[in-house]
Amino acid sequence: MTSTENASENRTYAIERDPRLRYIIPAVVAVAFLMEQLDSTIIVTAVPDIARSLAVTPLAMNLAVTTYILTLAMFIPVSGWFADRYGARRIFALSLLIFTLGSILCGMATSFPMLIATRALQGFGGAMMTPVGRLILIRSFPRSQLVTAMTYMTLPAIVGPVIGPVLGGFLTTYLSWRWIFWVNLPFGLIGMFMALRYVEDTARDHTVKFDFPGFLMVGFGCVLLQYGIENIGRPTIPVFAIVAVLIAASLLLVGFVRYARMVKSPAVDLTLFRLRTFRVGTLAGGICRIGLNGVPFLLPLMLQVGFGMSPIVSGSLTFVSALSALAVRPVASKLLRVFGFDRVLTWSAIGGAIVVAGFALIGPDTPRWMIIVYVFVFGIARATQFMTSNTLSYSDTPAAQLSRATSLGGVLQQLSVSFGVSIAAMLLGVVTLDGSPLTPEKFHITFLIMAFIPLLGLPGFMRLHPEDGHQVSGHIRRRKAV
């Protein structure tokens, strides 16, 4: 570690200079994260109303959903460079401004092309907002309190997809579909004020040049990959075109891997994967999250289509998984201190797989209170896995690489969400290839198959050493002599 990095590691953190910031900074960043996560899902329940209002078919509205996600995938990889070049506080406040402005314009859309353009503007703001907000959190808390910081970051990612459809349905039913965008206005204004008032700016590095060729390769590679994944679950192009898109994405991303070895400061720092904790937290943790991220998509469908419940009843049953995320937060640091990252990640992956498989035992006659309890248990397993793997990813990352680490981690986290939904949709489509209706049994088969995916992360978790991330977890355990 260089003297510069040592100075960074030993500096006085913001929350130590002003104890109030222990709550203010996480609150500001959490609101920004929640806005971004909500807008990934809140539009889904409003699709029919928006389609009627803008005189397009509901199928065409798929473009309004994917445009936002594709813009996120395009610009997340370079958010770290912008934060280093212009300062994290400035970029975070600017991203809130862009996102809020995009939200206002989305609500004012009078045509479908205008909605698509303003959704892209929203996505650009969200792409900068999420990883830079994560960077601000990590730089504001000392390593020993990183679990607390990452908990605040993870909660919106868990809560957003759960309450998004419910909130979208409520606003669309009782107000107007335009309010699903305008609801961001007060949060955006408060967030900008609080960020400029309380978030300290970081030193700016004017020496690192922007890697434009690398940005194009990674950006378009991620966009094509995201677009291909989206079309696996909700096809809008022919099968051969989906295959071509995925091949093109693979070629661009593989080409970037070779290109990154030849340049000094590539758009995405792949040397981060040399860190075992970052590699396991993002890759093995990402694989595990894919299996768990399919449940928020499958469960409401099973309750509504398979069991015949109304959207409001379904939403009230699935919402409790957000409450279980809150229950995990106070005990997450204690679990890590007692058992360490390796054991918590391993057993939460196994527990998550078992709970996902258990959804196959729920039927139309299952008492609703039992469904609520079971969804709560699933939320505990999911939140534990998410919080722990996210924290591990940055536990041993040098301060000089944090901005690039949060950018790369943000891309992989976004892809794990997309993969989870798309694979769940694809499997559900496979079990109904015969044209039969979506019966509860078809959903049960899909849940059983999805339950195997979290187990694919186990080989990575088992490669962790007991001392990995100990500065964050506080866990001390000697490795057994071989």
Helix (H), strand (E) at residue 93: helix 88-107
Shortest CA distance to 16 belongs to which of 198, 139, 142, 134? 142
Q: Quick: pLDDT tens for 165-191.
A: 677 767 777 888 888 889 888 888 988
Q: Is the pLDDT of residue 475 over 80?
A: no
Residue range 420-449: mean pLDDT, rounded: 83
**Which pLDDT tens digit goes with each residue over 132-159?**
887 888 777 776 676 666 666 666 666 6
Q: What share of the chain is helix, strand, coil (3-state, %, to 5)?
A: 80, 0, 20
* Spatial separation of the C-alpha atoms in residues 181 and 87, rounded to whole Å: 28
pLDDT at residue 6 in the model: 46
**CA separation for the pair 240, 421 (Å, rounded):** 21
Q: What is the pLDDT of residue 428?
A: 82
The pLDDT tens digits of the residues spanning 350-407 come to: 999 999 999 999 999 999 999 999 999 998 898 889 888 888 888 888 877 777 787 7
Task: Please name which of 415, 58, 374, 86 lies closest in space to residue 228, comparing C-alpha atoms.
Answer: 415
pTM for the predicted model, two decimal places: 0.74
The rounded Cα 333 to chain-centroid distance in angstroms is: 21
Q: In which residue are the tokens 């409003």 written?
A: 46
Cα of 427 vs its chain's centroid, Å: 22
Q: Are 418 and 69 in contact (CB under 8 A)?
A: yes
Predicted pLDDT of residue 481: 47
Q: pLDDT at position 1, please?
A: 45
Checking if the pLDDT of 54 tops 50, the result is: yes
Specify the pLDDT at position 2.
43
pLDDT tens track for 326-358: 777 778 778 888 888 889 999 999 999 999 999
CB 30 within 8 A of CB 153: yes
Assigned token pair, 432: 């109904």
Q: Which amino acid is at 103?
A: S
- pLDDT surpassing 50 at residue 7: no
Distances (CA, A) of 451 to 258, 311, 322, 341, 468: 35, 25, 20, 22, 27
Contact call for residues 394 and 409 (beta carbons, < 8 A)? yes
Q: What is the per-residue pLDDT across 279-314, written as a single tens digit (0 to 9) for each?
A: 999 999 999 999 998 888 788 878 877 888 776 677
CB 360 within 8 A of CB 374: no
Average pLDDT over the chain, rounded to whole? Answer: 81
* Range scoring the smallest mean pLDDT among 65-74, 199-208, 364-373: 199-208
Percent of the chain residues past pLDDT 70, beyond the cut = 84
Distance CA 86, CA 14 (A): 19
- The answer to whether the beta carbons of residues 94 and 413 sit under 8 Å apart is no
Average pLDDT over residues 262-279: 85
Neighbours of 333 (CB within 10 A): 20
Q: Please report which helix (H) or strand (E) contains residue 440, including its range.
A: helix 440-450
Q: Of 125-139, 437-451, 466-480, which gets the smallest average pLDDT? A: 466-480
At residue 46, does pLDDT exceed 80?
A: no
What single string gives the DSSP state of each residue in 134-165?
A: HHHHHHHS-GGGHHHHHHHHHHHHHHHHHHHH
